[in-house]
Structure 1
Amino acid sequence: MLTATSWPRRARAPYAPASTTKVLTSFAALTTIDPQTRFTTRTVLEGDKLVLVGGGDPYLSTKRAGSRDDRVFQADLTTLARRTAAALKKSGTARVTLGYDASLFDGPAVSPAWSDSYLSENIVTPVSALWADEGVVDGLRSRDPAAAAASGFARLLAQRGITVSGEASAVPAPAAASTIAEVRSATVAQIVETLMRVSDNQAAEVMLRHVALAGGGPATFDGGAKAVRAALSAADVDVEGLRLNDGSGLARSNRISPETLVETLYASSTSPRTSGLAADLPVSGFTGTLVERFMGLDAALGTVRAKTGTLRGIHSLAGYALDRDGRPVWFAVMADRADEDAPLEARAALDRVAAAIASCSCG
């Protein structure tokens, strides 16, 4: 038996959710996009003009992933450069100019609802349909990740005998250009699994853009927020008080009620298409963002799966706990006026609520 519940006091009042926002983004991604969809990064050629075209792969990397790396890293610029160079040489082309096209997503690349310090403190990369390593170059987040990816791609081509004339520039891919080579991302289901497990802000914002496109809207923060709301409403999830300004939860102005979180998670468990979302939640004391939590709460170790949310003074936890009789109880616990100087105490208080559910016979 599945029991849906939420914190009973003011359950429908919206709170600042922090990263539990990713529950809604991920649910919308799985419901609006085929979970087996992959995003393609490609090169196209017209004359001697080569263009690197971004397809919105949040986990495109520079180098090939090792055998022990997360399965989400399936596409890389090194492989794309190798394939592109081989195709160019086969056609007798050894010199090109390079452009890059990241026009799949619209602006702004940084949410107006984010703190200005997010950029200056190296917390976020501006959202782009083309980046490598989430825009991180030498440990710093690029302010222009598409240009950085193209610059790195030019070097990879040069290492494979293709001369790139001049600097890479932002250009639209010519409509008549032929595809030279491509690499494909992990599936949407695999991307969602990773972004939920590690609470990946960057990947969540890219997926918000894809949700917007799937919903027929512009690939912007606002377009994504509208598409998420539509996906929730279509699943009969209560969206009263819902306010979204991003897909990751970095915006302190976001508002989600515990009821919305619980109903979203419960709805995900009722459909094969979205059932993986619950399985993607970190496990108390063992995986992801819960690996160092629930210490000393033995009854809850391994019996709680939940998404965390943490910003200064904001703490949330949403998921399910197996009660003493082995029944899953869905819950959301939220606090957005916690003592900013005592984050560990606030986090522990939320863990104790989940542990209490795991210790009771709640049916």
Structure 2
Amino acid sequence: MSRTSKTVTAVLLAAALAALAVPVGLNLAPGFLADIRGGAATTSVPAAQQEPTALATLGGISALSQDAPLPSKEALATALDAALATDKGDFTAVVQDAATGQELYSRNGTAARIPASNLKLLTSLAALKTLGAGTTLPTTVLAGPTPSSLVLRGAGDSLLTAGPSDPAAVVGRAGLATLAQQTAAALAAAGTTGPVTLAVDDTLFTGPALNPKWLEGDVDAGEIAPIYPMALYGGRPDPAGAPALRPQDSALSVGAAFADALSAAGVQVAPGVSRGTAGDGARTVAEVRSATVGEQVEYLLQQSDNYVAEVMGRLVALAAHEPGSAEGATSAVRSTVASMGVNTDGMVLTDCSGLAEGNWVSAQQLAQAVALMAADPDEDLRAGLRGLPIAGLSGTLGERYRDAATLAGAGLVRAKTGTLNEDLSLSGYVVDADGRLLVFSFVGNSFKDGSAAAKPAVDAAATILAGCGCTGS
């Protein structure tokens, strides 16, 4: 890293340390905004924008006040209209005050647009609501129909790894080597000595593993792969595997890796891995459990992981008593967010990651999803806020907000990105210079010169919000 890059990173880190304290206040009620509604301001500069004196931990916004002035709608409109003005595409946008829900700015904000990966906000919201942030997902070895047979059953952990379980990791909280060691010990205790046969049970999900709305080119490029209820490394061949080499049958790939782990643990395994079920009441031989749903949601939002998002969507469907299929997932996500207060008029979902053709979501709906994560008294929802990348520092925003026009937003803007060839989106929140928590969504479509050329506009718009002392005075 060059000296310049190190200096920029240090500046961004200093700006972000206080921002890291923003996402959750687990002891606040009702929800994230409790102190905003009832506290008194202790400083003219919001805590989230002060220079930090120590590394922050995730906590509430205790220094914000209901007395902080709201931005002037007119001043916001002037600044944001200028930032989003372009003849190269079509921007829609919404900005609202998180504490009151008041809409402060709308640029055709109710119009349905292609949301790109911002659709993951809806999937994450539905997953946290229906599954619970603290839920973990088991991967289980069951006794098969014969004494020397085993069945490996998946329950939705797509972040398995081949090595030992790592209690500090999200990818690899459950490891096949640990599962194999448990299995070997159980087989030895039972006196099983002969070759064991291994089958995988991937019947949790139904319907086509590949969503027909995904473009063949995106599948070939490794943007997504067939969805199964167990997978290694988010449906990748290894942690650093080339996207185009994604396994086309993740369940059997997990089975093959588990067979290797069993062999390494001293179990004689018969050649070949088949598909099969253990039957009702089968004895559990061994089990490992995933990272929590909340941790997986944070991961999928930070990394914009399509595979994990699609798995979460199917788990939402099952929790909502719908089929664990692509269609069941989109139906369940839409109905769940509607039940939570998101206005779903005009919303069309064809997948749960935002990669498919035919998705239509408005900026207002995306802003409502972020606002629910911030204001709802359900603490589980706040995991979604922790997953939002930090401008200039983490996830899919790690390399943005590093130029003169947007540096003022670095460390302060937290938002989910979305990028397709001609479409992009950015939805999240920021504490403005007056101490007001603002929720925003910017969605741009039809950029004929490509979406990359439009990123500076949405980043500049969010930076305007971060620096806004837009009281109109």
Normalised by the length of structure 2, the TM-score is 0.73
Cα pair distance change 1:166/1:63, threshold 3 Å? same
Q: Root-mean-square deviation (CA), in Å?
A: 1.7
Residues 318-352 of structure 1, C-alpha deviation per residue, up to 9 Å, x if partnerless?
Answer: 0112211121111110111113x443321111101
Cα pair distance change 1:338/1:65, threshold 3 Å? farther
1:326 equivalenced with 2:439 (yes/no): no
Alignment of 1:176-215 (within 5 A): 176-215=281-320
Partner of 2:218: 118
Partner of 2:139: 41
Partner of 1:294: 401
Cα pair distance change 1:308/1:228, threshold 3 Å? same
Q: Give the distance between the partners of 1:113 and 1:211, measured in 2 at CA.
A: 19
Partner of 1:312: 421
Q: Give the distance between the partners of 2:298 and 2:233, measured in 1 at CA.
A: 18
Q: Give the distance between the partners of 1:239 and 1:201, measured in 2 at CA.
A: 22
Q: Give the distance between the partners of 1:130 and 1:277, measured in 2 at CA.
A: 23
Alignment of 1:1-363 (within 5 A): 1=66, 2-3=97-98, 4=101, 5=103, 8-46=106-144, 47-64=147-164, 70-94=169-193, 95-137=195-237, 139=241, 140-270=245-375, 271=377, 272-295=379-402, 296=404, 297-339=406-448, 341-362=449-470
Q: Give the distance between the partners of 1:362 and 1:323, measured in 2 at CA.
A: 9
In structure 1, what residue type is equivalent to 2:382?
S
Q: Give the distance between the partners of 2:392 and 2:233, measured in 1 at CA.
A: 28
Structure 1: runs of 5+ lacking an equivalent: none
Q: Give the distance between the partners of 1:300 and 1:181, measured in 2 at CA.
A: 48
Q: Give the distance between the partners of 2:105 and 2:151, measured in 1 at CA.
A: 52
For the Cα contact (< 8 Å) 1:51–1:101, is it kept in 2? yes
For the Cα contact (< 8 Å) 1:7–1:258, is it kept in 2? no
For the Cα contact (< 8 Å) 1:6–1:259, is it kept in 2? no
User: How many Å apart are 1:277 and its aligned residue?
Assistant: 1.5
Partner of 2:48: none
Q: Give the distance between the partners of 1:64 and 1:16, measured in 2 at CA.
A: 41
Q: Give the distance between the partners of 1:275 and 1:269, measured in 2 at CA.
A: 6
In structure 1, what residue type is equivalent to 2:395?
G
In structure 2, what residue type is equivalent to 1:346?
A
What SS does structure 1 have at the residue aligned with 2:353?
coil
For the Cα contact (< 8 Å) 1:283–1:304, is it kept in 2? yes
What SS does structure 2 have at the residue aligned with 1:240?
coil
For the Cα contact (< 8 Å) 1:85–1:161, is it kept in 2? yes
In structure 2, what residue type is equivalent to 1:149?
V
User: How many Å apart are 1:299 and its aligned residue?
Assistant: 2.0
User: How many Å apart are 1:65 and its aligned residue?
Assistant: 5.8
For the Cα contact (< 8 Å) 1:81–1:157, is it kept in 2? yes
Q: Give the distance between the partners of 2:153 and 2:137, measured in 1 at CA.
A: 11
Question: Across the two proteins, how many residue pairs are aligned to each other?
Answer: 361
Q: Give the distance between the partners of 2:347 and 2:118, measured in 1 at CA.
A: 13
For the Cα contact (< 8 Å) 1:135–1:149, is it kept in 2? no
User: How many Å apart are 1:131 and its aligned residue?
Assistant: 1.8
In structure 2, what residue type is equivalent to 1:333?
F
Q: Give the distance between the partners of 1:325 and 1:48, measured in 2 at CA.
A: 68
User: How many Å apart are 1:6 and its aligned residue?
Assistant: 7.4
For the Cα contact (< 8 Å) 2:199–2:275, is it kept in 1? yes
Residues 165-211 of structure 1, C-alpha deviation per residue, up to 9 Å, x if partnerless?
Answer: 23110112222321100000011111111111111111101100110
> Which segment is superposed worse, 310-319 or 88-97?
88-97
Q: Give the distance between the partners of 2:410 and 2:223, measured in 1 at CA.
A: 31
Q: Give the distance between the partners of 1:157 and 1:136, measured in 2 at CA.
A: 21
Q: Give the distance between the partners of 2:409 and 2:313, measured in 1 at CA.
A: 32
What SS does structure 2 have at the residue aligned with 1:150?
helix
Q: Give the distance between the partners of 1:150 and 1:6, measured in 2 at CA.
A: 53
Q: Give the distance between the partners of 2:364 and 2:224, measured in 1 at CA.
A: 29
Q: Give the distance between the partners of 1:325 and 1:331, measured in 2 at CA.
A: 16
What SS does structure 1 have at the residue aligned with 2:438?
strand
Normalised by the length of structure 1, the TM-score is 0.95
